[in-house]
Structure 1
Amino acid sequence: MEDSLHPAATSHLPPFITAPGETDVLFNVMIVFVLLMVFLVGILYLRLHALPEHMAHGASKTQLQIIGALGLIALFTHNHLFWIAALLLAMIEFPDFASPVRSIARSLAKIARREDSDERRESATAFAPPPKAAPLAAPTTSEPQWVPLEVGPAPHEEKIEQRG
């Protein structure tokens, strides 16, 4: 067989046209390029959907879970409103209400443990023999001396006197 051109073909063919039976290099290059681009666009798409979660990485656990759920809903439903809501929630820093409550709970637990240890100490000493006491000294006088208290008028009586 001769490698002659068809009579309808031009004398000069572009370089991407291959002869029959040879490997089409441009086709193979384009397959690799398209597969690579699909892979890269997929990575970019998934990274973009994970952006709110990356932004809220330092946030509280509850906020991160809400943002993650909104991101997944946006990914599976292709409803961008959920992704925008997740992005806005990631930008907002909520106040930490749990830390002061945990601190109060720790302090109360510490106080309760201290009282428990005091009760244990008292119960441990309740069964111990009493210490030897010194003999009591005789009172100097037979009757206690009472000191009278000075009592002023009641507060409501003062107001009545001021008006009258």
Structure 2
Amino acid sequence: MENSLREAAIAHAPFFITAPGETDVLFYGIAWFVVLAVFALGAFYLTLHALPEKLAHHANHTQIQLIGVLTLLALFTHNGVFWVAALVLAVVRFPDFISPIQAIADSLKTIARNKGEFGDSTRHEPVTETSVTPDMTQQENPKDV
């Protein structure tokens, strides 16, 4: 009687319950699914983490380095503020302040080298050691003696 009760229970059992001594196919299927899902989520997470660096292709070298540091900080500290800051830096295009200032500096060097030849009607003579300055006293000329 007990044997027939066991066989009747096994016959009415759901599909996910395996009989004794048989391979649990659902367990192995779920185990493989979990392993593949972890790898897929890890790849998605790392791809999402690299998004600011991919968006920063227009940025200058310093900005790209700053974005890289912020994304690494976000990756290792699990702090989303660093990732958001890197994303904002990657999306925002900063104006180029250095090039106009460098052009102004180069122009001033050229003007200083030419000693005021451009646009100046009076030419300034360079001050040398032999020229007289206001604080110097007039010395006698040896020819006058």
The amino acid that maps onto 1:44 is F
Greater displacement, 3-12 / 67-76 = 3-12
Q: Between Structure 1 and Structure 2, whose CA radius of gyration is higher?
A: 1
Structure 2 equivalent of residue 28 of structure 1:
28
Counterpart of 2:51 in structure 1: which amino acid? L
> What RMSD in Å do the two structures reach over aligned CA positions?
2.9
More helix by share: 2
- State how far apart, in whole Å, the 2-side matches of 1:21 and 1:104 are: 86
List gaps (5 residues or longer) in structure 1: 107-164
TM-score by length of 1: 0.54
How far apart in 1 are the matches of 2:79 and 2:98? 33
Percent identity for Structure 1 against Structure 2? 61
> Partners in 1 of 2:94 and 2:76 — Cα distance?
27
Greater RCO, CA 8 A, separation 6+: 2
- Closer/same/farther in 2, CA of residues 100 and 14 from structure 1, 3 Å limit: same
Deviation at 1:71, TM superposition (A): 0.4
* Aligned residue-pair number: 105
User: For residues 4 and 83 of structure 1, what CA distance do their matches in structure 2 show?
Assistant: 64
Distance 2:64 2:20 in 1: 60
- By how many angstroms is 1:8 displaced? 8.9
What secondary structure does 1:56 align onto? helix
**C-alpha separation between the residues in 1 aligned to 2:32 and 2:5?**
31
Query: Could you say which residue in structure 2 is the equivalent of 1:113?
Result: none
Within 5 Å, give how 1:10-159 maps onto structure 2: 11-97=11-97
Q: Which whole-Å deviations, capped at 9, do the CAs of 1:77-122 have from their partners, x for residues lacking one?
A: 111111111011001112335556788999xxxxxxxxxxxxxxxx
